[in-house]
Chain A
């Protein structure tokens, strides 16, 4: 047998043992299959562990380090649950059932929906398909790249957004009007179009930004996240984010001006094109920012309250 395949097997065994999959009734082969599947997903160009082709040692190393970076124990637990292993379910429930509720509370900030969300996700995870009794668990898609708890949170947040946010979005307009919210420019921008040259220059400037910069801008200006939140998401210090935003806003202005001038505007014209907007912007930005960016939350509340309204004395 080629050496690489041998060492591959040795690596498999080590991974298998670390995962503790045996305790959940998962065999080595099954586990390796799972790893293969994950590898194929994330490192599509890499041969699988089981491949009999001679694999260069380097890529063996990469595979090994990739696998080592996975959450093997959680992966084993999740996949064992997906397969219906009782012991796995006991462990899962004891570790995560209550967490699901807590997560739901944090996400929905609403006791009524939290219970529904948590229970419904749990049902999805449990995955019993009533019809043919076969298990169809969501856990089968967990790949161990992040923690299981984090994954559960993410899935729950996705579910929440699908379920409640979408609902909210359709009513947000009326709701907000009723509540007297200053709708400012949260509404689709009127087509009093900006100068197309301005648009083009801006698009170009934005396109040149790094993904992280764009993400920072979008988070801050579109979503209204705080510096602290953005810093947390990016793993940066709050002051770094603040500096970055400053740098970006100055840099963008410069770039746009340069772009406009390249399109034939004089400096004065370019500056004017931008200046006018900035003044408007200040107005809009402030009102937008003061009007909580999470204004959407409360129309949602209202909707929820109405939903729960049968019993609510509100």
Chain B
């Protein structure tokens, strides 16, 4: 490797603040604006301007980082369909953005994960045999993020495995490894894109799912399928129902003999190259729940969203680090899986933009304003066709028909109306609503918003 004398390194770092006259357009001690940086990256600058920008970049770490973050994969990103490109580029550089993979953080896991997985497997097998406990576990961890029932297909809030809810919960309950291996790439991006559309919804089956999903996972990726067969928990032969895709094709067929088939189906459905790796494996375990929650009855391919596909390709097939990273956060993403897009219409997505609640009927390709209140809206939650949207100055609206019509709700306690900002809404049950207020209060209603109590 090329080396420079240490002193060079030192002096590079200790570089004096940028000197004067970096070129016409770059004034001293000012970062080049976004236009210049972009033009630099796209090679649209004159030689003099380019030198000026380079001069600044040589001294300014932040700007170098901006360039690297924003433009390093420009060619790959520009063609989101070339998933292969990404996966090829990413792992190639020895010291790349992905180099954090080799960071100590991942070093310890090899042992740690095994231990962790083993421990979780143990816990999971216990929990799976005791659905009741699982539900409790669900709710308790749920309380942190709220809205357990902001789940898709409301009634199926029970997190007990073996519940034959359409493709939603059962797959996760049983399905761990196969779905995971098949979905490891599809999962994160789906979860991610799905999540981005429904940030405000905060389901939390996440933790419980994780526990459930983990058991068969305590293995090497290569072993996953085989393991699934062996590891199927007695009395839990749903092990064969892995991914949503698979479940769509043949839901809930028990028996490990289906494992392979399901995987293939799922794999085909997903259509994403799978590059097994320890990280991916573990990742998958965390993300599977999320994805399955998000897209229950639909085979993955059937989900038309360009959004999903795009992010799949741009983000998903990218090297394992990305996948792995999603693991942790798709956990939370999973909890936020947009229940909204589920039961009513698979392609419906919600977002709040500049205080206005918007809905998309086509998975994010186009948006229409769904609710504009006299104050900016800040949050929303959905549960089936029911939607609550809250905002500044105690603004609160409710819709029972997926956003077609809205009714204003004025939370009040002892005739004192809420006037602070509602920063978060959670729908815990059919009539169970919780509002988080920006003054750290929490208002809850058990009767669908007629009466409220403060916590």
Contact = CB atoms under 8 A, between A and B. Distances in A.
A23 interface: no
Contacts of A298: 100, 103, 105
A23 B365 CA distance: 22
Interface centre among B64, B321, B376, by most A CB within 10 Å? B64
B439 interface: no
B3 A211 contact: no
B121 interface: no
A198 B145 CA distance: 57
B441 interface: no
A153 B314 CA distance: 14
A182 interface: yes
A239 interface: no
Interface in B398-413: none
B354 A123 contact: yes
B389 interface: no
Contact of A314 (B34, B65, B211, B331): B331
B70 A150 contact: yes
Interface stretch (A3-11, A27-35, A50-58, A105-113): A105-113
Given A111-B329, A122-B353, A313-B206, A157 B8 contact: no
Interface stretch (B86-94, B156-164, B296-304): B86-94
A contacts with B: majority SS: helix
Contacts of B149: none
B93 A228 contact: yes
Given A94-B365, A180-B108, A181-B104, A219 B64 contact: yes
B328 A312 contact: yes
A288 B13 CA distance: 14
Contacts of B2: 220, 242, 245-246, 249
B7 A154 contact: no
B5 A252 contact: yes
A310 interface: yes
Given A161-B62, A285-B3, A311-B145, A150 B41 contact: yes
B196 A278 contact: no
B99 A224 contact: yes
Interface stretch (A13-21, A261-269, A289-297): A289-297
A199 B7 contact: yes
Contact of A233 (B68, B100, B210, B351): B68
B65 A157 contact: yes
B440 interface: no
B113 interface: no
B322 interface: yes
A150 to B, nearest CB: 4
Interface in B2-24: 2-15, 24
Given A106-B77, A225-B95, A285-B3, A313 B66 contact: no
A218 B104 contact: no
Interface string B188-199: 110111011001
A98 interface: yes
A256 B191 CA distance: 54
Interface in A150-181: 150-151, 153-158, 160-161, 165, 179-181
A93 B297 CA distance: 29
B237 interface: no
B335 interface: yes
Interface string A112-149: 11111011001100111010000000000111111100
Given A112-B332, A142-B34, A199-B10, 8 more contacts: A102-B315, A112-B195, A114-B192, A143-B35, A145-B35, A217-B4, A227-B93, A311-B202
Interface of B: 1-15, 24-25, 33-45, 51-52, 54-55, 57-59, 61-62, 64-75, 77, 80, 89, 92-97, 99-105, 108, 141-142, 144-145, 188-189, 191-193, 195-196, 199, 202, 204, 206-207, 210-211, 306-307, 310-311, 314-315, 321-322, 325-326, 328-333, 335, 351-355, 364-367, 376
The 9 closest A-B pairs by CB, nearest first: A146-B38, A311-B145, A226-B93, A281-B6, A214-B58, A111-B192, A211-B54, A313-B207, A157-B70
